Each structure stands twice: as C-alpha cells, then as structure tokens.
Amino acid sequence: MANTASPADPTRRDFLYLTTGAMGVVGTAAALWPFIDQMNPDASTRALASIEVDIGAIEPGQSITVQWRGKPVFIRNRTPEEIEAAKSVPLAELRDPLARNDNAAADADASDANRATDGMENILVMVGVCTHLGCIPLGQQGEYGGWFCPCHGSHYDTAGRIRKGPAPENMHVPVYTFVNDTRLRIG
C-alpha cells in the first residue's frame, strides 16, 4: 500500500523531528545555565551594593572612613571655614574641571556646590582613593588642608579636588542620599 499523505500533511516523522529538536534546545539550555549563572556577582557583593552610615556623631572637622564595595569612602563633616575655603577657589585654578560626582551630570563643573549636596554642604562623601595610582590619601593634610597622598605627592583641597601633584582627576563622589539628618545611604 502506498503512502497517501500529501507533502503538506504532517507525518509522524515530522512530529518526531520537532520534538527531538525541542528537547535538544531545552537540554542545551539546561546544560549551559550553570555556566551563565556563575557569571553573576555572588551574594556578598550584592549585599554591599549599598550601605547606611550613621553620621550623627561626626563633629565638625572630623572624618570617618567606611568600606563600600571594597573601597574606603571618606565622610567628612566640614567646618564653615573649610566650606568657605572650597567655595572661594576660582574654577580656573582647578586642574580637573569636572565634579566627578555620580549624583550630578557627567559634565558638571568642579565647584564646591557640585561636589556636595545642597542643604548639607558640610557633609562631603568621596571614594577615598587617589586618582593617580589608587593609594589611600591621608586626611586633613597637604598644602590645601584637604587630603594628601604621600606615595606620589598629590594634594587635594577641602572639597576633594586635585590641586597639586600627579593625580589627573578629583576624588570621585559615589551615589549617596540622606535617609534623614543623621543617616546616609551610599550606593
């Protein structure tokens, strides 16, 4: 007896081809998933994506250093004199004209207002890494009363802006928000 099925009619063989192909795709995806999933950051990294810091105990003129994403973050409660010193610097004197503030536009200038938060100008938050070779600067030192990197001689002012030395950029300001007057969330 001859096969009476027309080429447009599905046969059992067509069904077997489709199901075998579908199972092959599902099997390949199941085999590849562990390799793809292992590229995601681990739980400890995701847990450090943001931290909250109590800043209520930081007196004017004092700084604290916290760890965020494996890097030191400087939080300084600046005195009115330090704020005025930072505001009085003409932008033309700055070596890096950009604010380097993740809370502001990428092309924001390096004025003190663009390095701090409006209404909380006394609190300065910066990633505490020298932009030259990644050293950790010393606070309240250097020619401008801000930070000094003794490894290669970079001097930062009271707003964390590079003023002298080999560092090419201002210290970076991470994303942060004020939860309330005494708590700060970084990240």
- Residues with a known catalytic role: 152
Q: In angstroms, rounded to a whole number, what is the distance separating the alpha carbons of residues 187 and 180?
A: 16
CA distance 175 to 187: 5
Residue 22 vs residues 12, 14, 34: alpha-carbon distances, Å:
15, 12, 20
Helices (H), 70-146: 80-87, 112-115
Give the integer Cα–Cα distance in Å for 104 and 111. Answer: 12
Q: How many CB atoms lie within 10 A of CB 160?
A: 29
Burial profile 15-46: b = 16 or more Cβ within 10 angstroms, e = fewer: eeeeeeeeeeeeeeeeeeeeeeeeeeeeeeee
Q: Would you say 67 and 118 are in contact if contact means Cβ atoms under 8 Å apart?
A: no
